[in-house]
Amino acid sequence: MFAKPRPGHGEKLEIDGLPLRLSVNRRARRVSVRIDARAGEAVVTAPSERALPQAIDFALSRRDWIAEHLARRPHSAPFAPGGEILFGGRSVRLIASGNAAAARLVPDHPEGPAIISGGEDDAFHRRVERLLRAEAKAALTARTRVHLERLGLKPVRVSIGDPASRWGSCSPHNRSIRYSWRVVMAPPEVLDYLAAHEVAHLVHGDHSPAYWSVVHGLVGDHRPFRKWLRDHGPALHAAGRA
């Protein structure tokens, strides 16, 4: 009889109707489970592959919690006329222009703040996302520059991406910072916190008390901004997805 293969890192399972993704994190102190709202699955983490069966058992013991949170994950759909999204923390309507024009932000539209765009279906979606990416790049570049100057640091290369769950990443060795464009949907003070968070990693590469002291010096009490991202992040990551 062949031995049953052990579950491994990155493996995806469906047990009792629950979609699980297995993850090994050598720095983890215990088994844990979290919800990946974007992927629509529970991520089961263990400190070693040997502990993955234990982690799976732990996840199954929390099947009701997992099922409830998966059911509550934000609905995702492409950007379309008639919809609403957040921009700068405010609700903005999506309106079709009826032509092939690029998307533009109209803060004083008679029906309230709006993004008006040409194109149909996928073309409309792409134009809106292109606008959001451009706005994000401009705002994050500006706030990054401000925080760099406050710390007396040299310029860095700023780029925009769409990571699965992270809001930003800093690479001190090649002096580059990459942000999620989706943070442009958050209030300006949250976007500013994210810029400060990543710039501070040029001083301290960890999340030590010394690191958080640098962040505090840039934006003050950062806890409300972190909480906003925890509470609203899944909805931002779901926005505009098919």
Quick one: tokens of 98? 């009826």
> pLDDT tens digits for 156-212?
999 999 987 789 999 999 999 999 999 999 999 999 999 999 999 999 999 999 999
Query: What torsion do the CA atoms of 35, 46, 54, 15 make, to the nearest 10 degrees?
Result: 40
Residue 90 placed within a domain: yes
Residue 172 placed within a domain: yes
> pLDDT tens digits for 11-43?
998 888 889 999 999 988 899 998 887 678 899
Q: Clarify whether residues 131 and 228 are in a common domain.
A: yes
Final residue in a domain of this structure, among 71, 98, 121: 71
**For residues 141 and 158, is the Cβ–Cβ distance under 8 A?**
yes
pLDDT score, position 242: 67
Residue 122 placed within a domain: yes
Paired with 32 in beta bridges are 45
Residue 209 placed within a domain: yes
* C-alpha 38: how far from chain center: 9
At 159, is the secondary structure helix, strand, or coil? strand
* Run of H or E including 153: none
Residue 1 placed within a domain: no
Q: What CATH number should be reported for the domain holding residue 159?
A: 3.30.2010.10
Q: What is the pTM of this model?
A: 0.76
Residue 5 placed within a domain: no
Residue 66 placed within a domain: yes
Residue 187 CA to residue 139 CA, distance in Å, equals: 12
Q: Shortest CA distance to 195 belongs to which of 134, 133, 132, 138?
A: 138
pLDDT score, position 17: 83
The parent domain of residue 21 ranges over 12-71
Q: Clarify whether residues 233 and 129 are in a common domain.
A: yes
At 205, is the secondary structure helix, strand, or coil? coil
pLDDT band at 238 (very low <50, low <70, confident <90, very high): confident
C-alpha distance across the termini of the chain, in Å:
45
Quick one: tokens of 208? 């030590």
Final residue in a domain of this structure, among 38, 71, 104: 71
> pLDDT tens digits for 137-165?
999 999 999 999 999 999 999 999 998 77
Q: Clarify whether residues 130 and 229 are in a common domain.
A: yes
Does the pLDDT at position 2 exceed 70?
no
Number of folded domains in the chain? 2
Final residue in a domain of this structure, among 22, 44, 71: 71
